[in-house]
Amino acid sequence: DKTSISVIDKGYAIPHIANKVAAGHLNEDLTGWLVHIGSLDRERVSRELLRAIIHVRQNQPKTFRGLLLVGVVCPEFKSMVKSMGAEPHVRFYGNVSQEEASSIAVSSPALLVIEANMPMSPFLPSKFADYACTQRPMIAITPIISPIRDYLTKYGGGVPVCHDADEIGAALLKIFGDNTNQATICHSAGLCGEFTSQNVGGRYLNMLEGVLDKKNQPTAK
């Protein structure tokens, strides 16, 4: 805005290619867990998430077990879990191989992606692309303005929420409530298709062709 340069006119936005995932089935050991896969750093720690986890767990003990974290978790979040008395509702799974992480993802009832609490986000995490192709419902804690929210609004497949306990709790109930119908928020083929190698590769080809066309255009005198 300060330079009056249109980045959109000068550049290309191309998403990640999702990691291939094998066909999966729900794992009974994961039943009732909201699963986060990957590193959870201090910038994305959310007290509101834990408040929602505790509240829904207390009100839906038969269908919701809590939050399962696969991967490295920062000390700040672990301390927050302890200080809020959320230890019975949060499970730290630890590091696993990429193959095992993929297997857990496709076998999970629902997946969680968290962005930092900020007014807007310019990011599209590779994790989102991987999640999109698991066909599992997703809860995305993301700013009001963000690519993640845009994708979920356009294609469905998940519930975008802010860092707000009430919003997060309502999203949890959509997936883990007594009378929920997960089919209403399962990922569509359209969302997964955005991150296939064919689609992303096609975008790279279009970009290269566009750059070459501009380069070969005669310079105005």
pTM: predicted TM-score of the whole model, two decimal places? 0.87
Reference 33, options 93, 77, 94; nearest CA is 93
Query: Phi and psi (nearest 5°) for 198?
Result: -65, -45
Q: What is the pLDDT of residue 24?
A: 55
Query: Phi and psi (nearest 5°) for 138?
Result: -130, 140
CA pair distance 36, 72, nearest whole angstrom: 11
CA angle in degrees (0–180, nearest 5) for 117-120-126: 80
Q: What is the pLDDT of residue 13?
A: 84
Distances (CA, A) of 38 to 74, 77, 114, 194: 11, 14, 11, 21
Residue 42 · residue 80 · CB < 8 Å: no
Name the β-bridge partners of 34.
67, 110
CA pair distance 24, 109, nearest whole angstrom: 11
Distances (CA, A) of 217 to 11, 204, 210, 212: 17, 20, 11, 9
Helix (H, G, I), strand (E, B) or coil at 37: strand
Rg (alpha carbons) of the chain, rounded to whole number: 19
The dihedral through the CA atoms of 103, 170, 142, 14 has a sign that is positive
| pLDDT values of the chain reduced to their tens digit, one per residue, 221 residues | 788 888 777 778 889 999 877 655 556 789 999 999 999 999 999 999 999 999 999 999 999 999 999 999 999 999 999 999 999 999 999 999 988 999 999 999 999 999 999 999 999 999 999 999 888 999 999 999 999 999 999 999 999 999 999 999 999 999 998 765 555 566 567 898 999 999 999 999 999 998 888 777 776 55
Q: What is the pLDDT of residue 68?
A: 97
CA pair distance 22, 126, nearest whole angstrom: 18
